Amino acid sequence: MNILFFLTPKSEVAYIYEDESLRQALEKMEYHKYSSIPMISRTGRYIGTITEGDMLWGIKNKFNLNLKEAEHVPVTAIPRRMDYLPVKIDSRMEDMLDRALNQNFIPVVDDQKNFIGIITRKEIIKYFYQKMSREGTAKEPEISRYMVV
């Protein structure tokens, strides 16, 4: 199986150039609403990936964010762009996987809506990875999206 089957081509990907300013990068990320974005050179080489977290911690240090002020801001005052939807413990596998398409993890709640833990994408991919290795599906010939195009 060819990994290009899974590729989102550069033409459909938002990226930043390594010689851009923090401001340009911030604006691009805010506009596209991606939590991480690849950085490339003007000649097209992959340089690295910058995340919202890198920017958060970078800004916190570079701009000497006054944490004293942050003490009086309740965390609930921060708008949440995309609230992760939970699944109930008795949800079907399909519904859980459906959530996993759009969230980095899925909060799990019991009947009383108590939070009992999370399901990470990592665990899901790990499961399928191991299942695939056991079944040897990786060796199966498949028509790749790349070959069709």
Least distance (Å) from a second copy to the CB of residue 147? 13
Segment 43 to 102, residues that bind a second copy, using CB under 8 A: 44-60, 62-63, 65-67, 69-84, 86-87, 89, 91-94, 96-98, 100-102
Least distance (Å) from a second copy to the CB of residue 26? 6
Note whether 86 and 100 are within 8 A (CB): no
Residue 147 found at the interface with a second copy (CB under 8 A): no
Residue 30 found at the interface with a second copy (CB under 8 A): yes
**Helix, strand or coil for residue 88?**
strand
The amino acid that residue 33 corresponds to is K
Residue 134 found at the interface with a second copy (CB under 8 A): no
The overall longest dimension of the chain from CA atoms, in Å, is: 59
Please count the CA atoms within 13 angstroms of the CA of 9 that sit on its side-chain side: 4
Note whether 72 and 78 are within 8 A (CB): no
B/e letters for 32-63, b = 16+ CB within 10 Å, e = fewer, are eeeeebebbeeeeeeeeebeeeebeeeeeeee
Could you say which of 21, 111, 134, 148 contacts a second copy (CB under 8 A)?
21
Could you say which of 31, 32, 35, 136 contacts a second copy (CB under 8 A)?
35
Residue 26 found at the interface with a second copy (CB under 8 A): yes
**What does the DSSP 8-state code read for residue 60?**
H
Residue 13 found at the interface with a second copy (CB under 8 A): yes
Least distance (Å) from a second copy to the CB of residue 97? 5
Could you say which of 136, 138, 141, 143 contacts a second copy (CB under 8 A)?
138
